[in-house]
Each structure stands twice: as structure tokens, then as C-alpha cells.
Amino acid sequence: MTGKDQLTIPQDELVEAWRRTLPERLNAGDSAEVRADGTDPGALRVTIHASGRQKYKLDFAVRYLDSREIDVELVDVESGGRSIDEHAEAVRELISDYRRHLHECAQSLHDLTHA
């Protein structure tokens, strides 16, 4: 990575852009919360509330590696307010699906984030 390809957008603008764009990428009935990561200006915290009976809530840390590429880390998965094992097949598929949505959101914001 070169020093030229750093994320230069202010974090508050990045958060607002994600708040506008991410809901368009999610499944019908899902909702998301996007917050600034207090320790890293190039990172966001994203909580996705999945629609459905299980009431899944997935927390992700999204960090920009440069102005285009993000790293998505699963922080926690809850069902009905309790942390659950993320290794169950259905949960792994859900995590994979939401990771893809997060990458799609970042990709759609390239015009904004790419210097």
C-alpha cells in the first residue's frame, strides 16, 4: 500500500454516507446502525438487525485499509439478546451474506472515498 492511497474523507462524512447507502444494500426488513469507531478514524462500527423470527443482531468492525479496500471483522452475533455461536451453518451463511453487503456498500462509495 502506498501512502498516496489513504482514506481522506472525514469520519463523520463517512458515517453519514454509510448510513445513507447501507440500507439500500440490505435485505427487505433488515436495518442497520452505523457509528464511528472512537479509536480509528478509518473505521466504522456497524450493527445489522436481521428481519425474521430469530431476531439476529450482528456487530461488525469495518476498517478501511486504503481508500477503496475494507476489512470486515465480525465482533458479535446475538439472537434474542443473547450472544450465540457464529459457527452454526445458518449463522455462517448470514454472516457471509452481510459481509458481501458491507463490501457492496464500500464499493458503491468509491467515488466518495477514493482520493
The answer to the question of residue 98 being in a domain is yes
Higher pLDDT, 81 or 45: 45
Sheet containing 31-36: give its strands across: 31-36, 43-49, 56-64, 70-79, 82-83
- Distance between CA atoms of residues 104 and 78, nearest Å: 23
23 pLDDT exceeds 70?
Answer: yes
Higher pLDDT, 97 or 2: 97
The answer to the question of residue 56 being in a domain is yes
CATH number of the CATH domain containing 68: 3.30.530
The answer to the question of residue 92 being in a domain is yes
pLDDT at residue number 18:
98
111 pLDDT exceeds 50?
Answer: yes
The answer to the question of residue 115 being in a domain is no
Mean pLDDT of the residues in the chain:
92
Q: Which pLDDT band holds residue 53 (cuts at 50, 70, 90)?
A: confident
Radius of gyration of the chain (CA): 14
Contacts of 14 (CB under 8 A, 6+ apart): 7, 36, 44, 112, 113
Provide, rounded to the nearest whole percent, the portion of the chain with pLDDT above 90.
77
36 pLDDT exceeds 60?
Answer: yes
The label of the residue with cell 477503496 reads: 68
Q: Which pLDDT band holds residue 2 (cuts at 50, 70, 90)?
A: very low
Rounded mean pLDDT of 73-98? 93
The answer to the question of residue 37 being in a domain is yes
The answer to the question of residue 8 being in a domain is yes
Query: How many domains are there within the chain?
Result: 1
